Amino acid sequence: MLLLAIDTCCGGCSAALVRLSDGRAKVLAYEVEEELQFQSERLFILIERVMGDLSYQEIQYVGVNVGPGSFTGVRIGLGAAQGMRLGQFLRGKLKSREERSNDVFHIVPVTSTMACGYQEVFFSNSTLRQVVDTVIPAGRERFYVQKFFCSVTETICYFEDNEGYGKEVMRLKAQDEIALLSLEEMGSMVMNLDLFSKSGHVNAVGVALAAVSHITSKDFTIIPAYKIEPIYIKSVWQ
């Protein structure tokens, strides 16, 4: 099974192609563009690079970060995924609607905070933590925050990145809703700004990990593409 993961929500854009088979996931290709101003122009270039000679017909799932994050970035990523799926759907116009729906890839929406949480779990060298706090900069000294419980018994897969680093990744479960908080409101979660910058740098590898988590869950269901919406979160004073 092949999964294409894309992220445009938290600065720049990135894409990753992942093969999932027999409980193992391997990043086959990964591309990133750090420039914030050219996401819409660069995203499909990155996708073409990671896809190589593959066609969209060979992709089963597209994982996409639906926010919260940059207002424009969220719309670019989700719009790109929905546009690719629509184009693939229309190419099968001689088939019945049901046959075409089965032939096209499915979009797997993931949140920025969950992608961030899986990146923390995967790349952390520390001992396994039961609680993972994700903190993503939202600008103006505010942060998107969410708490996850990290299972000590349930793994999603053995995951290997494009540089050969791999490990068993434990499943995360959200313990609360995503919140937009100021520094003062974060209270005990305030540690240091270096941690915020490391935690908040979400990319397509984190999106891929979160998407694999959804796909391998016993409760996983396909969401119709037209029903997937971006996540925008405002603070209580807005």
Residue 233 has pLDDT above 50, yes or no: yes
Q: What percent of the chain has pLDDT over 90?
A: 58
CA distance 200 to 213: 20
Mean pLDDT, the chain, integer: 86
Residue 76 has pLDDT above 90, yes or no: yes
> In the numeric block, which tokens belong to residue 47?
């996708």
Q: What percent of the chain has pLDDT over 70?
A: 84
Residue 148's nearest CA partner among 122, 129, 173, 167 is: 173
Question: What is the band of 196 on the pLDDT scale with cuts at 50, 70, 90?
Answer: very low
Spans of all domains in the chain = 2-227
- β-pairing verdict for 131-139 and 142-160: antiparallel
Give pTM, 2 decimals. Answer: 0.89
Question: Are 25 and 212 a contacting pair, CB within 8 Å?
Answer: yes
Whether the CA torsion 68, 73, 75, 80 is positive or negative: it is negative
Residue identified by tokens 């349930």 is: 154
CA distance 43 to 75: 12
Q: Specify the fold of 2-227.
A: Nucleotidyltransferase; domain 5 (3.30.420)
What digits encode the pLDDT tens for the residues 141-195?
A: 888 999 999 988 899 999 999 999 999 999 999 999 999 988 888 765 555 444 4
The vertex-111 CA angle with 157 and 210, nearest 5°, equals 5
